């Protein structure tokens, strides 16, 4: 019996990022019991993102720009019994299909969600430090980053109300509904782009992220925060 999985990836002008993400998803031999579809949710790209997604065999849908709206509409369009949300600059490690299938095969996980261990496409101690802190945050506080992906049964996702229609902190809003005790680390690495950290600095960027998160918890508007996230 096959299990259906929809991998939902939002993008805007992701032509430089998408190829690595899609190549990791399509590489190697697939688990026969896992039927996958790729859903790319485009927020108005002016580059080759849509063409690249189509060439990789993905379904492409259009949505208003913003990670929350794009993820929400992608989930609504997806056909799978399970949903796996990824960012377009994230590459899953080898063997991801087997890890996903193992999680899906456990009936107790139908009311849980899984996330990956974070790593960056950058060598050195600074990147390792930030990744370690992010992975601690996920385990201890139940707040994995969107960069870590989210694997969840469609029925559970719908019961939670799905991703909110907001441009930032949509990942935080959803995992807070899931709750720390219903989040499980997967035995899988998600390698994500370090571009923002290289640009802003390996100390400044994490502090900025923490500052924005604190403001969000204090009630700041996600729209206002999104303007300061860039």
Residue 2: count other Cβ atoms within 10 Å of its Cβ. 11
How would residue 215 be classed by pLDDT, with cut points 50, 70 and 90?
very high
CB 163 within 8 A of CB 174: yes
Give the residue-averaged pLDDT of 69-82.
97
Residue 30 pLDDT greater than 90, yes or no: no
CA 179, CA 141: separation in Å to the nearest integer?
9
Give the model confidence (pLDDT) of 169-200 as tens digits. 999 999 999 999 999 999 999 999 999 999 99
Give the span between the Cα atoms of 37 and 17, in whole angstroms.
19
Residue-wise pLDDT for 90-149, tens only, equals 999 999 999 999 999 999 999 999 999 999 999 999 999 999 999 999 999 999 999 999
Higher pLDDT residue, 229 or 82?
A: 82
Question: Which domains, and CATH codes, for the chain?
Answer: 3-198 (3.90.550.10)
Q: What CA–CA distances, in Å, run from 44 to 7, 70, 94?
A: 20, 11, 31
Distance in angstroms (rounded) separating the CA atoms of residues 215 and 217 = 5
């Amino acid at each position: 019996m096959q299990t259906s999985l929809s991998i939902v990836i939002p993008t805007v002008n992701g032509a430089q990022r998408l190829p690595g993400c899609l190549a990791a998803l399509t590489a190697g031999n697939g688990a026969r019991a896992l039927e996958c579809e790729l859903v790319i949710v485009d927020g108005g790209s002016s580059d080759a993102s849509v063409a690249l997604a189509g060439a990789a065999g993905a379904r492409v849908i259009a949505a208003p720009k913003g990670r929350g709206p794009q993820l929400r509409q992608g989930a609504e369009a997806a056909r799978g019994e399970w949903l796996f949300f990824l960012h377009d600059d994230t590459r899953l490690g080898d063997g991801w299909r087997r890890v996903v299938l193992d999680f899906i095969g456990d009936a107790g996980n139908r009311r849980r969600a899984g996330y990956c261990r974070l790593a960056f496409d950058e060598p050195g101690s600074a990147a390792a430090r930030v990744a370690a802190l992010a992975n601690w945050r996920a385990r201890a506080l139940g707040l994995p980053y969107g960069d870590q992906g989210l694997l969840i049964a469609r029925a559970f996702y719908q019961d939670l109300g799905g991703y909110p229609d907001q441009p930032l902190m949509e990942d935080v809003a959803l995992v807070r509904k899931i709750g720390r005790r219903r989040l499980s680390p997967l035995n899988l690495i998600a390698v994500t782009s370090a571009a923002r950290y290289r640009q802003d600095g390996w100390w400044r960027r994490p502090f900025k992220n923490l500052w924005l998160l604190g403001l969000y918890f204090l009630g700041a508007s996600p729209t206002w925060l999104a303007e300061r996230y860039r």
